Amino acid sequence: MATETSSHPIRIDAQFDSGNIEVLSIDGATARLTIPADHQSEFRQWFHFRVTGAAGRKLTLKIVDLGTSAYPEGWPGYRACVSEDRDFWGRADSTYDKDANGGTLTITYTPASGIAWFAYFAPYSMERHHDLVAEAAASEGVSYRHLGNTLDGQPIDCLELGEGENQVWLYARQHPGESMAEWWMEGALECLTDPADPVARKLRQLCTFHIVPNCNPDGSRRGHLRTNAAGTNLNREWHEPSPEKSPEVLAIRNAMDETGVDFAMDVHGDEAIAAVFLAGFEGIPSWSDALGEKYTRYQRILERRTPDFQTAKGYEVARPGTANLAMSTNQLAERFGACSMTLEMPFKDNDDLPDAAQGWSPERSKLLARDCLASLLEWLETPAA
């Protein structure tokens, strides 16, 4: 005979920083859920919620209507992230059936404790963001710069360090649901602010870094996948940003205009491609083979330095003259002659080097950041032949 503990309905809530889910029904330890769209937008893919009252019970969580999500190709082969302590994030057994209820992801998991947290990727909260900024700003040789405010009134934080002539901009989370991007930033800042790290010491001599760990605080706190508080995709605003729709991009681009940009990395996550890759600026009006070789040389260095990076999988390369200058990587290459690039990490796993326990993870994102910085150092010290 079932006890009251094992038969009562579980509880699901998402009213917290970056939370996002809608509960359609609950029956015991089974729930039917759907993902709300970003505010004033049709983008929907990010979920983050907690389940209570399920210790020792097998949960069956069905997220439905995913065929009309932003990236339905992101669900096959995907496993949901789960944590019981909000520190270690593993992966829960997950299956996707495109023909069930408009496309259904079924997550099964048996928590040992009374609370389990589920998310599209390991979240990076705004509180953790402020801890990151505070710790970095307190480090020797680091200065804090307030670039502006978001539509919700949150600050756009920038950290600056180094005394070299190469102006390097690192920025992340234009798309707030791509939380692996700020885990990467945490790894980058830990490296660059470590006085004992030889890569960091040399980079600080050669470069002046401008680091924006989170370009979209509003979308991050609201639990959006891709947009800010106005429903704007910031990475389509770099040609003509506005105070009304994209004050984040306007503030960052204005700061870039003041410093110039020699090297830039825009850090993202990709829903569908189970690999780490770069996207460049092919197709800009001012394309030159010399600038293109700078980009491909960086790719070659990074591929040699870490088995987590590859060049076989990625986005289709733009044809000559067809680059979208509203995207930051293209805009910066065209505007400054910068070697700019978009780094993409997977929401799934890295199929070339899979991890059954965690898939792609915060830990791997942080390690990749140091490899990217070490590659930058080699790139600077070994000019093209």
Helix (H) or strand (E) holding 299: helix 289-305
Select which of 182, 344, 363, 378 is catalytic. Answer: 344
The CA distance from 206 to 187, in Å, is 20
Task: Report whether 281 contacts 330 (CB < 8 A).
Answer: yes
DSSP 8-state symbol, 117: E
DSSP 8-state symbol, 211: E
| Strand duo 104-109 + 59-63: pairing | antiparallel
Task: Count other Cβ atoms within 10 Å, centred on residue 43.
Answer: 20
Q: Which of 355, 338, 348 is nearest to 286 (CA)?
A: 338
The CA distance from 29 to 35, in Å, is 19
Within a 13 Å sphere around the CA of 173, how many CA atoms are in the beta-carbon half? 32
The first and second tokens of residue 266, run together, are 């825009």
Does the annotation mark 182 as catalytic? no
- What size, in residues, is the chain? 385
- Which amino acids are annotated catalytic? 344
